[in-house]
Each structure stands twice: as structure tokens, then as C-alpha cells.
Amino acid sequence: MENSRPGAARHLTAAAQRLKDWARRIKRDVTAVALAARDPRVPWYVKALAVFIVAYALSPIDLIPDFIPVLGLLDDVILVPLGILLVVHLMPAGLMAEYQAQADAIGRLPKNRVAGAIVIGLWLIALAATAMWAWDIYAG
């Protein structure tokens, strides 16, 4: 009975391979967008969006928490690729292919301690603001 649908098994294997390939391309493009954020040829507003997209992609805190079934993963599957598409659309012509080639060559995100410090600082500010708001509501 297992062999009664060999076409279905091939179809699932092909779909899984396409999904893995897509995930690798997204990972490469996040690295490429991180490289774009460091390049002086990229306008400041594209750099700002690129930093935001990379920070969101790498942040452990999501807009929709991952523990919510299906919806928790949709923000990563939809928002990050849409953000990358927006950065690519706003970027000067031809640069994204250069960044993708660099990303393929290095295979990982470049380290940027300043960007990491900014992201951590923003999360701390958000946490402090939430704590102050909660204090005002519950203590006052």
C-alpha cells in the first residue's frame, strides 16, 4: 500500500526541496540586504529600511509570536520577503545582484556590533516604556 502513490511521494519531496531552496535564497537575501546597509552607494532611506528588515529577521521577538499556530510563522514567511522586495525595489539598479554574489561568497551575515547595539537598545527602550506604562496603570 505504501507504493500505491509513488507520484505523491515524489511530489512531496520536490515540494520540500523547493521550500529548502526558497529558504536558502531568503537567508542569502537577508545577508545581501545587510551588505547593502553598509554600502555608501545606497541611499540613506534604503539603508534604514535594510537595517530594520535585517533586525526584524534576526530578532527573537516577532510581531506575531511563533507559538501561535500558523499565524506565528506567517509574519516571518510574509513580512521578511516583502521587506526584502521593498529594499530591492528602492535600491539603485544592479546593486542587489552584486550583494547576492557577495552573500553567496561569505555564506553568513557580516558582524556589525553597532547595529546589534542599536537593536538591543531599541528593545530595552520598548521594554522600559512598557514597564513605565504598566506601573502607571497598576500602581497609580
Structurally, the chain folds into a number of domains equal to: 2
Neighbours of 86 (CB within 10 A): 15
* Same domain, residue pair 6 and 52: yes
* Same domain, residue pair 81 and 127: no
Q: If we measure between CA atoms, which residue out of 111, 121, 120, 117 comes closest to residue 38?
A: 111
* Same domain, residue pair 66 and 123: no
| Residue 61 vs residue 129, higher pLDDT | 129
Residues 6+ apart with CB under 8 A from 76: 57, 62, 66
Buried b (16+ CB within 10 A) or exposed e, 104-118: eeeeebeeeeebeee
* Same domain, residue pair 103 and 117: no
* Same domain, residue pair 132 and 73: no
Q: pLDDT tens across 4-14, in order? A: 566 666 766 87
DSSP 1: -
Q: pLDDT tens across 14-62, in order? A: 777 787 777 778 778 888 888 888 889 999 999 999 888 888 877 766 6
The domain containing residue 122 runs over which residues?
112-140
* Same domain, residue pair 116 and 103: no
> What's the pTM value of the predicted model, to 2 decimals?
0.59
Q: What average pLDDT does this structure show over 108-129? A: 74
